[in-house]
Amino acid sequence: MLPGMNPRKMKQMMKQLGMDIKPIEDVQEIVITTPTGRYVFDQAEVAVMKMQGVVTWQITGEPRFEEADAVIPEEDVALVAEQANVPSEAAKAALVETKGDIAEAILRLSS
C-alpha cells in the first residue's frame, strides 16, 4: 500500500483499474517441478491477482530445492555392467551415485 493512503481508497483505486487481489488461505505446500528438480515451499503466502482479464498467481516465501533423481537409460546400465564386469544392479547403483556419469561409474566399479 502507498504510504499515507487509507485501505478503502486503495481498494477503490484498484477496482477502478480493474484489479482484484484475493489471498488463498491455509496454503500448506506449493511444489514447482522442473527437469532438474523441485522447488518446495512449505510455508508460503499466495495471492491471485486479476487485472484486465489476466490472472497472475503470486507466491511469497522461501523454497527449498530437491534435486531430481537421475534418469538412467538401460543402455547405459548395460554398457557399465559390461565394461566393469559387474551385475546390472551394481552398474545401475554406480550410475545413480555418479548422476549418470558413465565413465565415473566404470572407474568406481573397476577400482
pTM of full prediction above 0.85:
no
Q: How confident is the model at residue 11 (pLDDT cuts 50, 70, 90)?
A: confident
Task: Dihedral sign for Cα 77, 80, 83, 89, please.
Answer: negative
pLDDT at 37: 93
Q: Copy the grid coordinates of residue 48.
A: 491471485
Phi, psi of 47, rounded to the nearest 5 degrees: -135, 145
Q: Which are the contacts of 85, defined by CB distance < 8 A and separation ≥ 6? A: none
d(CA 107, CA 5): 67
Residue 92 has pLDDT above 70, yes or no: yes
